[in-house]
């Protein structure tokens, strides 16, 4: 009888073990992996800081991509954390990394993203970016 009760107790507790030790959270960087496209918009007076962007997020959270801002090609390099917060540096167009744009944003549960930008050497020059996962 004790053996039967022990067996039932063990079997009954197995689902709790598997739920508690499950295969990860939906809030891992892996859930953001994929290809994204969007647009950049400059703030009033800096409308030329507009263009298109696209990037890929790897399963490890590495973000790489390109943008075309005011006809100049740019490189995007950054990362995303498990809460969907992106930190990106954009540079290029023949001006080098010292004249980069810093971008911070968030990927939401519906696979859209939004964020803000500012120029590294002139933080008063700001903008926004938006888009979605393909």
pLDDT of residue 46: 83
Residue 66 domain boundaries: 29-133
Please state, in angstroms and rounded to a whole number, the distance separating the CA atoms of residues 35 and 66. 12
pLDDT of residue 26: 54
Instruction: Examine residue 2 and state whether it is found in any structural domain, yes or no.
Output: no
Instruction: Examine residue 24 and state whether it is found in any structural domain, yes or no.
Output: no
pLDDT of residue 4: 56
Instruction: Examine residue 112 and state whether it is found in any structural domain, yes or no.
Output: yes
CATH classification of the domain holding 39 = 2.40.128.120
Please state, in angstroms and rounded to a whole number, the distance separating the CA atoms of residues 46 and 15. 57
Per-10-residue mean pLDDT of the chain, 134 residues long, equals 51 43 62 97 86 97 93 92 96 65 94 92 88 97
pLDDT of residue 86: 97
pLDDT of residue 24: 43
Its pTM surpasses 0.85: no
Domain count across the chain:
1
Please state, in angstroms and rounded to a whole number, the distance separating the CA atoms of residues 15 and 112. 35
Instruction: Examine residue 9 and state whether it is found in any structural domain, yes or no.
Output: no
Token representation of residue 52: 């298109």
DSSP string of 10-27, one letter each residue: HHHHHHHHHHHT-S--TT
Instruction: Examine residue 109 and state whether it is found in any structural domain, yes or no.
Output: yes
- Length of the chain measured in residues: 134
State how far Cα 105 lies from the chain centre: 7
| Pairing assessment for the beta strands 122-133 and 112-119 based on DSSP bridges | antiparallel
pLDDT of residue 91: 86
Please state, in angstroms and rounded to a whole number, the distance separating the CA atoms of residues 101 and 89. 6
Identify whether the C-beta of residue 103 lies closer than 8 Å to the C-beta of residue 90: yes
């Amino acid at each position: 009888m004790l053996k039967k009760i022990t067996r039932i107790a063990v079997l009954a507790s197995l689902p709790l073990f598997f739920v508690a030790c499950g295969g990860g959270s939906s809030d891992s960087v892996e859930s953001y992996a994929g290809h994204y496209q969007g647009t950049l918009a400059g703030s009033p007076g800096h409308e030329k800081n507009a263009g298109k962007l696209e990037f890929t997020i790897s399963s490890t959270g590495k973000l790489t991509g390109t943008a075309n801002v005011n006809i100049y090609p740019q490189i995007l390099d950054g990362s995303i954390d498990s809460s969907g917060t992106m930190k990106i540096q954009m540079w290029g167009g023949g001006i080098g990394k010292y004249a980069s744009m810093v971008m911070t944003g968030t990927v939401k549960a519906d696979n859209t993203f939004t964020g803000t930008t500012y120029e590294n050497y002139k933080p008063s020059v700001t903008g926004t970016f938006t888009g979605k996962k393909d």
